[in-house]
Amino acid sequence: MTSENLVLVSGANGHLGNNLVRLLIKKGFQVRASVRNIKNKDCFKDLDCEVVQADITDKASFVKALQGVHTFYAVGASFKLWARDPKKEIYDVNMNGTRNTIEAAAEAGVKRIVYVSSIAALDYTNLPTKESNGYNPDRRDMYYNSKNDGEKLAFQLAKELGIELVSVMPGAMIGSEAFLPLNVSYGVLRLILNKQIPMDTKITLNWIDVKDVAEGCCLAAEKGRSGERYILANEKCMTITDTTKLAQKLYPELKIKVPGSVPKFVLYTIAGLMELSAKISGKPPVLTIKDIAMFSGLQQNFDISKSRNELGFNPKSPEQTVKEALAYLMENRNLL
């Protein structure tokens, strides 16, 4: 028997997952939190929730974890933009994870799924980008491909298996409770505060407070129409350079320099050297050739009227989001 009050959050020790768990507890839900490694429980200290082991690559673990659950927040995924074998480590993990968890949810009798997709699964050719634009035609990045193909698969499976599924598409999440390792987006702010961004890449990010995304997930569970997708981002993006200028203004004592402009061929050369070093060390590069090719100059502005009107989604501004996230990192120096 499913209990209307019992929810499961996968990837619950990740940035969004953990903040979502905290919000659902506050809202009075009985929360089950699933993690891949059961030893990784520090972020649940003092939280009134059940922590269980489940891995998106293992369907049986999710059939067990989802017993009695009414709403499943499918947050868990491989969120990285670089890997030695991106198809195997990112694309295959996310595609198999989508299939495993949705099939498991149907077997366990789950009523509703909030599937966490990404703004990566949107077509940016017409601005401002909206849900009805369709999917991203740019196939150069395995993480982006996994989000596009994963969301399509999620809708297809939900239809076949007769389970309600709503997709949410967050922007670059920062702010609030965070734990090491920081996610890719938060990592950019750490690089800024540590003065490790030497040049202007012309890359933009659509900053969104992780608490706003968590609220958006809850609203999608409550009000979202099954089979629909909702953008959880801000209307306007910010360049990394403008974000750096804001940090410079807020923390003059750090003496952060605004990165200078360099020709594109110089960016490609630097990115190439960073990738070479990454292959040797196994540590993700700060910048890749693909990052420059795909994202330099790309405008990530969104029409979020559907989320505002149908869900009541109302995020704080990108500037306010960045201010609060920088303050959190400055207060929690262990994350820097």
Of the pLDDT bands very low, low, confident and very high (cuts 50, 70, 90), residue 41 is confident
What CATH number is associated with residue 135?
3.40.50.720
Q: Is residue 61 part of a domain?
A: yes
Q: State the average pLDDT over residues 109-135.
A: 96
CA distances from 200 to 166, 173, 187, 322 (A): 37, 21, 17, 18
What's the distance, CA 228 to chain centroid?
A: 18
Q: Is residue 159 part of a domain?
A: yes
Total of domains in the chain: 1
Q: Is residue 58 part of a domain?
A: yes
Q: Kindly report the pTM of this predicted structure.
A: 0.96
pLDDT beyond 90 at 193: yes
Q: Is residue 129 part of a domain?
A: yes
Q: Is residue 184 part of a domain?
A: no
Q: Residue 76 is part of which domain span? A: 3-177+207-235+301-316
Give the residue from 137, 147, 145, 192 showing the smallest Cα distance to 170. Answer: 147
Q: Is residue 138 part of a domain?
A: yes
Instruction: Please report the pLDDT score of residue 84 as a whole number.
Output: 87
- Residue type (1 letter), 267: L
Q: What is the pLDDT of residues 58-109, one digit of tens each?
A: 999 999 999 999 999 999 999 888 888 999 999 999 999 999 999 999 999 9
* % of residues, the chain, pLDDT over 70: 99
Comparing 228 with 286, which gets the higher pLDDT? 228
pLDDT beyond 80 at 148: yes
* Largest distance between two CA atoms of the chain: 62
Of the pLDDT bands very low, low, confident and very high (cuts 50, 70, 90), residue 2 is low
pLDDT beyond 90 at 140: yes
Instruction: Please report the pLDDT score of residue 73 as a whole number.
Output: 98
Q: What is the pLDDT of residues 240-297, one digit of tens each?
A: 999 999 999 999 999 999 999 999 999 999 999 999 999 899 889 989 999 999 999 9
CA distances from 183 to 81, 180, 214, 278 (A): 11, 8, 16, 18
pLDDT beyond 70 at 129: yes
CB atoms within 10 A of CB 272: 15
Q: Is residue 24 part of a domain?
A: yes
Instruction: Please report the pLDDT score of residue 24 as a whole number.
Output: 98
